[in-house]
Amino acid sequence: MDFIKNISRPIFPFTAIVGQEEMKLALILNVIDPKIGGVMIMGDRGTGKSTTIRAMADLLPQILVVQDDLFNSHPHNFELMSNEVKSSIENSQDIKTHLINVPMVDLPLGATEDRVCGTIDIEKALTEGIKSFEPGLLAKANRGILYVDEVNLLDDHLVDILLDSAASGWNTVEREGISIRHPARFVLVGSGNPEEGELRPQLLDRFGMHAEIKTVKDALQRVKIVEQRSNFDQNPSLCLNEYKMMQNKLKSRIIMAQEKLQFVNIDYELRVKISEICSELDVDGLRGDIVTNRAAKALAAYQDRDIVSLDDIKKVIKLCLRHRLRKDPLDTIDSGLKVDKTVDKFLV
Q: How far apart are CA 27 and CA 35, in angstroms?
A: 12
Contact between 142 and 72 (Cβ < 8 Å): yes
Q: How far apart are CA 276 and CA 289, in angstroms?
A: 9
Question: Which of 279, 273, 282, 293 has its CA nearest to residue 344?
Answer: 273
Residues labelled catalytic: 287
Q: How far apart are CA 57 and CA 66, in angstroms?
A: 20
Q: How far apart are CA 290 and CA 218, in angstroms?
A: 36
Number of H helices and E strands in the chain, helices first, is 16, 11
Q: How far apart are CA 14 and CA 231, in angstroms?
A: 15
Q: How far apart are CA 17 and CA 348, in angstroms?
A: 33
The neighbouring-strand residues paired with 100 are 63
